[in-house]
Amino acid sequence: METRAASGLPFMKMHGAGNDFVVIDRRRGGPPVTPALARALADRHRGVGFDQLAVIEPDPEVAARLVFLNADGSESAACGNATRCIARYLMDEGGLSRLALRTGRGILAAEDAGGGLTRVNMGAPLLDWQDVPLSAAMDTLHLQIAGDPVATGMGNPHATFFVPDAEAIDLPAFGAAMEHHPLFPDRTNVEVVQVIDPGTIRLRIWERGTGVTLASGSCACAAAVAAARRGLTGRRVAVIVDGGRLAVHWRADGVWLEGPTVHVFDGRLTADFLEAAAAGAEA
């Protein structure tokens, strides 16, 4: 007879440069993943803890469809490092060197980059104000707010601030305030960037709906695009984040994100935990 623990929900824990994810594979079915479950799982003391929750769904045309939820239960169309982690998992599973995944950002190509690295094409950056989106028409290269940030859409909104010393910024206070700036109707991710040289940037990250993170793929892409648009770097840069190092190359076919991936462990959410999460949603 199946025990209550065994009747729960399997999951995987993964990370890319310290940007950590709970991944639930629903290609063969399973209970729905709700915002309430995401919030319960995100609690690093009472749940598992993650920067994003990623759900693998079946897709008739590509390897899989990915759905991303933030720690507050809100949905995000893009999550570059989670896409890379899952691409590596699926490539290893199928003995493949490349594949395509469907996300809210569109269909993204991923491939083995060699040396244990995985790269994904995050698509062309969205540079018009209405596509980011912003709440008013303006030049996205120089937003009319304090700090003169650059706005970029990568399937989710980004505000990139260039500073002399990234370490000197009180990121929890600054990021929390900027996430909810009225110029961003869907809130925004916040990047604080120090240009080290034309091929290297230092990036610190506040993720919308999550907070300070060690890395973020879409944020790395947005920061690299912003730096190149400002003429501060070339279109290929190394991105130094709190969790390690990523590489971004803004090519004609899109913005390619490359870096390491780690499949940390497999686990199973118990039936008791799932019931408690559902009861919390109803309370």
Q: Is the domain of 17 the same as that of 113?
A: yes
Q: Is the domain of 160 the same as that of 187?
A: yes
pLDDT digits (tens, 9 = 90+) for 74-102: 999 989 999 999 999 999 999 999 999 99
The pLDDT value given to residue 283: 43
Q: Is the pLDDT of residue 4 over 80?
A: no
Contact partners, residue 26, CB within 8 Å, separation at least 6: 33, 55, 56, 57, 58
pLDDT digits (tens, 9 = 90+) for 182-238: 999 999 999 999 999 999 999 999 999 999 999 999 999 999 999 999 999 999 999
Confirm whether 56 is domain-assigned: yes
Question: What radius of gyration do the chain's Cα atoms show?
Answer: 19
For residue 131, how many C-alpha atoms fall within 13 Å in the half-sphere facing its CB?
12
Q: Is the pLDDT of residue 5 over 80?
A: no
> Is-above-0.75 flag for pTM?
yes
Q: Is the domain of 107 the same as that of 203?
A: no
Query: Token match 């709906």: residue?
Result: 209
Confirm whether 144 is domain-assigned: no
pLDDT digits (tens, 9 = 90+) for 40-66: 999 999 999 999 999 999 999 999 999
Confirm whether 267 is domain-assigned: yes
pLDDT digits (tens, 9 = 90+) for 120-144: 999 999 999 999 999 999 999 999 9
Tokens of 41: 């799982």
Return the SS3 of 175: helix
Mean of the per-residue pLDDT values for the chain?
95
The pLDDT value given to residue 198: 98
Instruction: Categorize the per-residue pLDDT at 278 as very low, low, confident or very high, splitting at 50, 70 and 90.
Output: confident
Confirm whether 129 is domain-assigned: no
Average pLDDT on 106-119 reads: 97
Q: Is the domain of 19 the same as that of 107?
A: yes
Domain span holding position 180 = 150-252
Return the SS3 of 74: coil
Q: Is the domain of 21 the same as that of 68?
A: yes
Instruction: Categorize the per-residue pLDDT at 8 as very low, low, confident or very high, splitting at 50, 70 and 90.
Output: confident
Q: Is the domain of 229 the same as that of 248?
A: yes
Angle at 254 between CA 162 and CA 113, to 5 degrees: 95
CATH at residue 48: 3.10.310.10
Confirm whether 225 is domain-assigned: yes
Residue 192 phi, psi (nearest 5): -110, 120
Q: Is the pLDDT of residue 176 over 80?
A: yes
Q: Is the pLDDT of residue 1 over 50?
A: no
Q: Is the domain of 240 the same as that of 269?
A: no
* Nearest Cα residue to 48 out of 78, 18, 23, 17: 23
Instruction: Categorize the per-residue pLDDT at 7 as very low, low, confident or very high, splitting at 50, 70 and 90.
Output: low
Instruction: Categorize the per-residue pLDDT at 3 as very low, low, confident or very high, splitting at 50, 70 and 90.
Output: very low
Confirm whether 141 is domain-assigned: no
Q: Is the domain of 278 the same as that of 238?
A: no
Q: Which residues pair with 84 in a beta bridge?
A: none
Domain total in the chain: 2
Average pLDDT on 162-166 reads: 98
